[in-house]
Amino acid sequence: LLLLLLPSPSSSLLVPKRPCCHSTTPPSAASFTATRPLAPSDFDRSSGINIEEDRIAPPLQPSPTTPTTPTTTADATATPIAMSSSDSSATPGIAARLARPNILSLHPYRCARDDYSTGVLLDANENALGPTSLPTNSLDPPNNSLNLERYPCPYQVPLKRKYASYRGGGIGVENIFVGVGSDEAIDLLMRIFCAPGKDAIMITPPTYGMYKVCANVNDVEIQKVDLTPEFDLRIPEMLAAVTPATKLMFVCSPGNPTAKAIPLSDVETLATSSYRGIIVVDEAYVDFSDQGSAVSLVKKYPNVVVCQTLSKAFGLAGIRLGFAIGSPDVIQLMNNVKAPYNVNSLTSEVAMNAMENIETLDRNVEELLKQRDVVATRLNELDFVTKVYPSDSNFLLFRLKGEAQQVYKVMADGGVVTRYRGNETHCDECIRVTIGSEEENEKFLKLLVETWEEIGV
């Protein structure tokens, strides 16, 4: 069989369709698809398998209904894993046009759980005797229900299904990437679409600082078009500043540190403009806003990618889990490039539980928005606060008459930590404060007044 699979210079390879983690469908010979190496001009076609390295390119989007034939024999009781194949007749999408050629031709790492997830698993060199430790609450009595000695599902298909259902917009599993916070998605997008020392991203200061950090790490040029003093996009100036090298345009909405949501109509204007790159809408705080999510635009505009996270409204910053929602060809490349097991079993379980607790999410968001209004009102009553910016998020940006950095430092030393933002564009003498519990907010307001009086400006 191996000899039959080895290609001649002009032949195709017969490649098993890439599997997912939770299928019980038995393998069949029909699951092999004739393919050829991937070229930048035809991304949506499958490519070949590197038999020596046991890799497949590209890894096809998970589908629990498509059977697969594994490349090796296995115990008859083991459960093979299924993935769907790309449609070889599909028109090449935005990923094929914009991605780096080496990414398009990448043979992704093929991990053990690509083939089987149950049975006598002696394929991944795991420690079959079990973990040396468990989460604290599972120690007495010992509870290893997550099988922590085993590698996790590399595609997080059940979580994607639940998240797709929650977000709506007609998205499915094929539209979702799951990563280590939204920061992993941001970094992957740069690695996939921006050639080091050649390509560029566009940002709109003041904005989230990780765009700049990721660009610098990846040796990507940073083009800046400042927001207006009212923190609105300057779309004509953005489009005028675009060059052929501008692969990604980051729109932070609601913004950080601005707290202001960008209207979806602005995103649509960019998506339908002459700009040929990808608009990345970073929606870490979207659940606090009543303007809606750009997820509703993803199916309509393949050049829109939305980044989200469970760190903010869901209150799960400690598990580090985020999402990218976009066109299937873009998401496919992100799955190709990511580490094989980037989301661990503990994180996945908590995230799955969160999807079953939307009532708690809604209740917490309602309380935080109520407290946000209280804090904003109280700040506006202080004569040394010159401006409190409107907020679509779980924080407020406000400006002092002066000495904001000293106020921030004294308050931090006194036990209430905010964030000085006075070095950001349009944010002179500004402090950003997260809305906490009612008790925490009262401590903040009390210490702010005491600190101002102590400084004696």
Query: Given phi > 0 = left and psi -120 to 50 = alpha, else beta, which region is 156?
Result: left
E-state strands within 302-388: 304-309, 322-325, 385-388
Dihedral (Cα; 241, 247, 252, 256), 10-degree rounding? -80
Stated length of the chain = 457
pLDDT at 456: 76
Separation of alpha carbons 275 and 246, rounded Å: 9
177 vs 67 pLDDT, higher one: 177
Tokens representing 12?
């195709």
Cβ neighbours, 10 Å, residue 173: 22
pLDDT tens digits for range 418-427: 999 999 999 9
Separation of alpha carbons 416 and 442, rounded Å: 11
Class (C level, CATH) for 113-127+360-455: alpha beta
Domain with CATH 3.40.640.10 in the chain: 157-357
Separation of alpha carbons 372 and 377, rounded Å: 9
Element (H, E) at 280: strand 278-282
Grade residue 56 by pLDDT with cuts at 50, 70 and 90.
very low
Task: Give percent of the chain with pLDDT exceeding 70.
Answer: 80
Separation of alpha carbons 299 and 72, rounded Å: 38
Collapsing DSSP to helix, strand or coil, 431 comes out as: strand
Separation of alpha carbons 354 and 315, rounded Å: 10
Q: What are phi and psi of 375, to 5 degrees?
A: -65, -40
Instruction: Check if the beta carbon of residue 265 is closer than 8 Å to that of residue 273.
Output: no
272 alpha-carbon distance from chain centroid: 23
Write down the mean pLDDT value for the chain.
83
Separation of alpha carbons 205 and 425, rounded Å: 6
Assigned CATH for 157-357: 3.40.640.10
pLDDT tens digits for range 15-34: 233 334 543 333 232 322 22
Q: Exposed, middle or buried, 241 (CB in 10 Å: 0-12/13-18/19+)?
A: middle
E-state strands within 344-428: 385-388, 395-400, 419-420
Instruction: Check if the beta carbon of residue 378 is closer than 8 Å to that of residue 405.
Output: no
Tokens representing 130?
């079990």
Lowest mean pLDDT among 6-20, 153-167, 339-353: 6-20
Collapsing DSSP to helix, strand or coil, 217 comes out as: helix
Separation of alpha carbons 24 and 41, rounded Å: 35
pLDDT tens digits for range 267-298: 999 999 999 999 999 999 999 999 999 999 99
User: Which residues share a beta bridge with 33?
Assistant: 15
Instruction: Check if the beta carbon of residue 223 is closer than 8 Å to that of residue 200.
Output: yes
Separation of alpha carbons 393 and 151, rounded Å: 36
pLDDT tens digits for range 167-206: 999 999 999 999 999 999 999 999 999 999 999 999 999 9
Residue whose entry in the numeric block shows the structure tokens 């991944």: 124
Separation of alpha carbons 344 and 259, rounded Å: 31
Instruction: Check if the beta carbon of residue 190 is closer than 8 Å to that of residue 220.
Output: yes
DSSP 83: B
Question: What angle do the packed helices 157-167 and 345-355 form, to 10 degrees?
Answer: 30
Separation of alpha carbons 88 and 177, rounded Å: 22
Domain with CATH 3.90.1150.10 in the chain: 113-127+360-455
pLDDT at 41: 36
Amino acid at 248: L
Question: What angle do the packed helices 438-455 and 404-413 form, to 10 degrees?
Answer: 120
Residue whose entry in the numeric block shows the structure tokens 């209207």: 263
Lowest mean pLDDT among 40-54, 146-160, 193-207: 40-54
Separation of alpha carbons 345 and 159, rounded Å: 11
Lowest mean pLDDT among 57-66, 117-126, 300-309: 57-66
DSSP 329-346: HHHHHHHHHS-TT-S-HH
pLDDT at 18: 35
pLDDT tens digits for range 310-357: 999 999 999 999 999 999 999 999 999 999 999 999 999 999 999 999
Separation of alpha carbons 311 and 116, rounded Å: 32
